[in-house]
């Protein structure tokens, strides 16, 4: 109620980016942890050494994709908040 439309737009956009970053790191950690947990079972079954702590460079592309998706997901609500006339909304 005291911020400009641009501030509201940027804050909603930043919230989408923050959620995308948190979501990526939680998913990344859980997937590597899960692979490490199951690596013992997979090693016995396939006679191949698996590890959950191997990190590949392509994970950076997944991170960038998560950021882009976070921005795209936040654009519509940010625009709707930007276009809302607070004085008209509060007078109703």
What are the pLDDT digits (tens) for 44-79? 888 888 888 899 999 999 999 999 999 999 999 999
Task: Give the Cα separation of 57 and 68 in Å (integer).
Answer: 18
**pTM over 0.85, yes/no:** no
CA 1 to chain centre: 27
């Amino acid at each position: 109620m005291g911020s400009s439309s641009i501030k509201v737009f940027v804050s909603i956009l930043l919230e989408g980016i923050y959620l995308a970053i948190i979501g990526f790191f939680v998913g990344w950690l859980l997937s590597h942890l899960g692979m490490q947990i199951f690596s013992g079972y997979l090693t016995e079954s396939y006679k191949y050494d698996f590890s959950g702590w191997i990190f590949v460079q392509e994970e950076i592309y997944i991170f960038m994709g998560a950021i882009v998706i976070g921005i795209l997901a936040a654009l519509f609500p940010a625009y709707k908040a930007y276009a809302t006339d607070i004085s008209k909304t509060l007078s109703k």
